[in-house]
């Protein structure tokens, strides 16, 4: 399935597909889920694309988990 990551409606159940892109649409969704301070970094982007079956809900939850376990804040 080739989802249009630029324009498709997104939800926590949206599956990360091989065509996944870090688009403004995805950023808007993740800011709604995680807060205005959401941002991508390289390790997180690699985690998203590592081939594991994920949904955008999993992505939002992992980003939140990483923020609460950071020691450099």
Would you state the pLDDT for residue 69?
A: 80
Would you state the pLDDT for residue 13?
A: 98
Would you state the pLDDT for residue 4?
A: 95
**CB-count exposure of residue 7 (10 Å: 0-12, 13-18, 19+):** exposed
Would you state the pLDDT for residue 68?
A: 87
Segments in the chain below pLDDT 50:
none
């Amino acid at each position: 399935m080739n989802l249009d990551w630029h324009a498709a409606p997104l939800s926590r159940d949206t599956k990360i597909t091989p065509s996944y892109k870090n688009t403004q649409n995805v950023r808007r969704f993740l800011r709604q889920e995680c807060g205005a301070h959401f941002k991508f970094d390289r390790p997180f982007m690699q985690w998203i694309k590592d081939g594991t079956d994920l949904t955008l809900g999993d992505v939002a939850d992992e980003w939140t988990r990483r923020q609460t376990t950071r020691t450099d804040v």
